[in-house]
Amino acid sequence: MSLCPWLIVHSIEYLGLNPTSIDSVVVGKDSEVKMKAGQKLHIVNQLYPYTVQFKEDTTGGHGGNKTPREMASEERESHREALSVKAAKQTENTSVPDSLGENIKNTESFAPWSQGLKTSMQDPKMQVYKDDKVVVIKDKYPKARYHWLVLPWQTISSLKALREEHCDLVKHMHQVAEQMVQQCPDATSLRFRTGYHAIPSMSQVHLHVISQDFDSPSLKNKKHWNSFTTDYFMDSQDVIQMLETDGKVTVKEGTSELLKLPLRCHICRKELPTIPALKEHLKSHLPR
């Protein structure tokens, strides 16, 4: 198995929580270790072994003015997104205990990196609001000036795991989202939307509350844009109605293809050729 593209650099820096090792040498947290082709990288207590294969650098250096670390960061994010649809579609019939000790049917299997939300929601430094049912955190990679996530304490893998009995919880999530908008200092000048990604990349159902300026350096590619401006983004009220009517949330076949649509302004529907061109165009819609 070849290593994912972000490891084309000849060193690896351990940033996460899970133990990592190269061959039999453990890499300490925040340590950077040189690697050679053919060595084995073991991730998460040696559960995921990878054999390193470096590919030729076709950029003529380190990608222009970008540092190796910046390139690695961008490549990691792109690789994570490329895996997200595949990870979300994989299913398995397992039961996992929720926060109350009850067993809930888990209908989806996510890659190990996708468990990050479960860690963030427990971190007091990440929390901006919480009650006995939900917690609100700031998105680590906000795609707009204001971008929050509303998560239930109860373990629910994704939209597909929601059922009629979750109606009250989902309505409460929507109410909390509205409260977040109301307390926002720019609530009168910016529009907001609340909704869910039809095919999430992260485990644990989460409601996005996002301002429609999309003024953020973290919005970098077509997948980012289309995940919030097409039907890939399912409105919170529509999800509530599905649960009340059908007792479940239905994701249309072919929804993942929406991420490949051309870049179009979500306000005037003008088509733009690139993300930089789109961002420049969006400035014309910002409040003056």
Here the CATH number for the domain that contains residue 53 is: 2.60.200
Please tell me the predicted confidence (pLDDT) of residue 46.
62
The Cα 174–Cα 135 span in angstroms is: 12
Give, for all 288 residues of the chain, the pLDDT tens digit: 444 444 444 566 555 556 677 776 777 666 667 777 777 777 765 666 777 665 544 444 444 454 555 555 555 555 555 444 444 444 333 333 333 333 333 344 445 545 778 888 888 999 999 999 999 999 999 999 999 999 999 999 989 999 999 999 999 999 999 999 999 999 999 999 999 999 998 889 999 999 999 999 999 999 999 999 999 999 999 999 999 999 999 999 999 999 999 999 999 999 999 999 999 999 999 987
Range of the domain at 73: 5-86
Residue 116 and residue 80 in one domain: no
Residue 128 and residue 80 in one domain: no
Please tell me the predicted confidence (pLDDT) of residue 51.
74
Q: Which residue from 236, 116, 107 is spatially nearest to 173, judged by alpha carbons?
A: 236
Q: Which residue from 159, 161, 139 is spatially nearest to 150, judged by alpha carbons?
A: 139
**Tokens linked to 15:** 């940033």
Is 287 a domain residue?
no
Cut 0.95: pTM above it? no
Residue 81 and residue 115 in one domain: no
Residue 137 and residue 181 in one domain: yes
Residue 135 and residue 77 in one domain: no
Residue 17 and residue 71 in one domain: yes
Please tell me the predicted confidence (pLDDT) of residue 235.
98
Is 96 a domain residue?
no
**Tokens linked to 137:** 């955190």
Residue 160 and residue 254 in one domain: yes
244 near 167, Cβ under 8 Å?
yes
Is 95 a domain residue?
no
Is 280 a domain residue?
no
Residue 182 and residue 118 in one domain: yes
Is 141 a domain residue?
yes
- The sign of the CA dihedral 261, 278, 266, 231 is positive
Is 101 a domain residue?
no
The Cα 138–Cα 133 span in angstroms is: 17
Task: Please say if 206 is a catalytic residue.
Answer: yes
Is 104 a domain residue?
no
**Tokens linked to 61:** 């250096």
Please tell me the predicted confidence (pLDDT) of residue 49.
74
Please tell me the predicted confidence (pLDDT) of residue 55.
55
Please tell me the predicted confidence (pLDDT) of residue 58.
42
Here the CATH number for the domain that contains residue 254 is: 3.30.428.10
Is 37 a domain residue?
yes
143 near 214, Cβ under 8 Å?
yes
- Total domains in the chain come to 2
Residue 119 and residue 65 in one domain: no
Residue 176 and residue 216 in one domain: yes
Residue 225 and residue 145 in one domain: yes
Residue 43 and residue 128 in one domain: no
Please tell me the predicted confidence (pLDDT) of residue 287.
83
Catalytic choice (166, 206, 208, 266):
206
